[in-house]
Structure 1
Amino acid sequence: MIVDSHCHASDKWYEPVETLLDAMDRNAVDAAVLVQMLGDFEHEYMLKAARRYPGRFVVVGGVRIERDDACENIRRAADAGLAGVRLRPGGRSPGTDPLALWRCLEELRLPISCVGKAADFTSPDFTALVKALPGVPIVLEHLGGLARPDVGDRSKMAEAVLELAQYPNLHLKLPGLGQLAPRMAELDPRIAMPLQMDGVTAFIDHIITAFSERRIMWGSDFPPVASREGYANALEWTRLSLGHHPASTLRSIFGETARRVFFRD
């Protein structure tokens, strides 16, 4: 089973869920995690999609963490089918307990998809948060920020991100290679993977060794991936680059990890 851990679909922005389904079906992707885009807090479109296509989707929604009723809102959304929540690493609740919503998610056993820069994830403040919440899975998007264009010195930041592997509730989303390797200047049809891959495979191998395949999950970043290598290549080229790993490792990264964390069946 192949599970895409990071997709966006909306009736307001990007593409509708049917466009994603078409890409999934053409590439034999069995299921996907619908992650709410930043700045949107209405879950109903995605929840309806999950009900309309049973078994294909789970929903990770946004929340206005600054509101006093954030926990109550998430409890209602969880009752309606929400499978996780998307937060920024610096998101804090009002009142006497800045981690109130995070603790609520731990109580509800709702995983957190965390979006931010590598510098945010490697800060002492975030480390303290992770230590305080050992019972909730926290999934760092875009390889813990290492795949973002604002990462700066990736090698230096990678050392700090790898230090986070000591916390067993932390997971990483592995993106398509177009986020990690630039395109070749000339697209030669004889080259199966036209990316400048110098050091990228070894870099990913190092991350897999640190976190293990049980805490890494592939995510396409649909539909922004269309402006990079495209959906099919984001899946196939990533699998190709990891082809030297055992089949059990590939099963975990391309399906089992995401299913275990986000799917409740």
Structure 2
Amino acid sequence: MRIDAHHHLWTLARGDYGWLTRALAPIYRDFQLQDLAPHLAAASIDGTILVQAAPTEAETMFLLDIADSTEVVRGVVGWTDFDAADAVARIDALAARNLLVGLRPMVQDIADDDWLLNPALVRPLTAMARHGLVFDALLLPRHLPRLLHVIGRHPDLTFVLDHCAKPRLATGEIAACEIRTWRRDIALLAQHPNIVCKLSGLVTEAAPDWQIADLRQAVDHVVTCFGPQRLLWGSDWPVVDLAGGYAAWFAAAETLLADLSPFDRAAVFGGSAARVYLRDRGRRPG
């Protein structure tokens, strides 16, 4: 089964997408499953993981209802308030929906860079592991040392590093310095068996006129560090429309991974996502 491990759907009238403004004109509209369907067909995608885009449980329920209505969505990565006094009870309640396969706090938008180190997170992360939920880590390179501490503290919880932690791939001396730090931290994270990396979101971190060569350094590094069996390809649609679109990113990924064996390519484009997200929850492959 070929799986797109990361895409979104949204309806602007819901009003809980604070980051989505008119300044992002190409994606400032509603996106529904029928808009995604032609892309899935063109790439021979059999199933998807639908990921939250708003920090509300209401949006998570909205996404779970969509998943209930279609076979193509194999699982949902939702959101809950990890800082709430009743965070564990909230996770217990959400986990009753079997199509929920993970949770994703939007760490990149949290003002406190040390939020991941908060001791109060221990109980909700332990609850996630108990339910077989995956922790999707939406963060930036500066958060990687904090994540390294957390994954070591929770060896029974599976972590997915979204968008390779968004390395800045645009050209420039500052970006080059940051890339060196990112390379080091990625290598340290990959030493832990309970984290995998989502091959997604790279084109929106590259220059607007990106070429495949601009992505190769980052892709080769995560392939080397994590190995194909711990990489999951995701489109990040419709956000990817800000940087060339679904087809362009899919074609680039196929080119960048062309030297892998058919077995390893199958893992990146679906097998790893099925193992990580759908082993115990979600709509498992038949």
Q: Say yes or no: TM over 0.5.
A: yes
Structure 2 residue aligned with 1:187: none
SS of the residue corresponding to residue 39 of structure 1 reads: coil
Structure 2 residue aligned with 1:160: 185
SS of the residue corresponding to residue 79 of structure 1 reads: coil
Structure 1 residue aligned with 2:269: 254
Whose helix proportion is higher, 1 or 2? 2
Structure 2 residue aligned with 1:189: none
Q: Distance in 1 between matches of 2:218 and 2:9?
A: 30
- Relative to structure 1, is the Cα distance of residues 77 and 21 closer, same or farther in structure 2, using a 3 angstrom cutoff? farther
CA shift, 1:144, in A, is 2.4
Is 1:58 aligned with 2:75? yes
- Relative to structure 1, is the Cα distance of residues 136 and 44 closer, same or farther in structure 2, using a 3 angstrom cutoff? same
Structure 1 residue aligned with 2:110: none
Structure 2 residue aligned with 1:140: 161
Q: Distance in 2 between matches of 1:213 and 1:35?
A: 22
- Unmatched runs of 5 consecutive residues or more in structure 2: 18-29, 108-113
SS of the residue corresponding to residue 34 of structure 1 reads: strand
CA shift, 1:70, in A, is 1.6
CA contact under 8 A between 1:140 and 1:171: conserved in structure 2?
yes
Q: Distance in 2 between matches of 1:71 and 1:39?
A: 17
CA offsets 1:149-186 (integer angstroms, 9 cap, x no match): 7x9421332122211111001111112652354354xx
- Relative to structure 1, is the Cα distance of residues 88 and 19 closer, same or farther in structure 2, using a 3 angstrom cutoff? same
Structure 2 residue corresponding to 1:76, chosen from 93, 99, 105: 93
CA offsets 1:76-100 (integer angstroms, 9 cap, x no match): 1111231110124555698x74311
Structure-to-structure mapping, 1:118-197, within 5 angstroms: 118-121=141-144, 123=145, 125-146=146-167, 152=175, 153-175=178-200, 178-179=203-204, 181-182=206-207, 184=209, 195=211, 197=213
State the AA in 2 paired with 1:126.
L
Structure 2 residue corresponding to 1:44, chosen from 40, 46, 61: 61
Q: Distance in 1 between matches of 2:165 and 2:277?
A: 18
- Relative to structure 1, is the Cα distance of residues 244 and 92 closer, same or farther in structure 2, using a 3 angstrom cutoff? closer
- Unmatched runs of 5 consecutive residues or more in structure 1: 185-193
CA contact under 8 A between 2:167 and 2:202: conserved in structure 1?
no
Structure 1 residue corresponding to 2:246, chosen from 231, 244, 254: 231
CA contact under 8 A between 1:50 and 1:59: conserved in structure 2?
yes
CA contact under 8 A between 1:92 and 1:99: conserved in structure 2?
no
Q: Distance in 1 between matches of 2:212 and 2:267?
A: 26
Q: Distance in 1 between matches of 2:122 and 2:138?
A: 17
Q: Distance in 2 between matches of 1:40 and 1:19?
A: 23
State the AA in 2 paired with 1:161.
I
CA contact under 8 A between 1:93 and 1:101: conserved in structure 2?
no
Counting matched residue pairs gives 251
- Relative to structure 1, is the Cα distance of residues 92 and 210 closer, same or farther in structure 2, using a 3 angstrom cutoff? closer
CA shift, 1:52, in A, is 1.0
Structure 2 residue corresponding to 1:111, chosen from 134, 142, 147: 134
RMSD (Å) for aligned C-alpha atoms: 2.4
Is 1:28 aligned with 2:44? yes
Q: Distance in 1 between matches of 2:201 and 2:117?
A: 33
Identity, % of aligned pairs?
Answer: 23
Answer with 32-41 or 215-224: which moved more: 32-41
SS of the residue corresponding to residue 166 of structure 1 reads: coil
Q: Distance in 1 between matches of 2:74 and 2:39?
A: 14
CA shift, 1:2, in A, is 1.7
CA shift, 1:148, in A, is 7.5
Question: Runs in 1 of length 4+ with deviation above 3 angstroms?
Answer: 88-94, 179-184
CA contact under 8 A between 2:231 and 2:267: conserved in structure 1?
yes
Answer with 204-213 or 165-174: which moved more: 204-213
Q: Distance in 2 between matches of 1:250 and 1:176?
A: 18
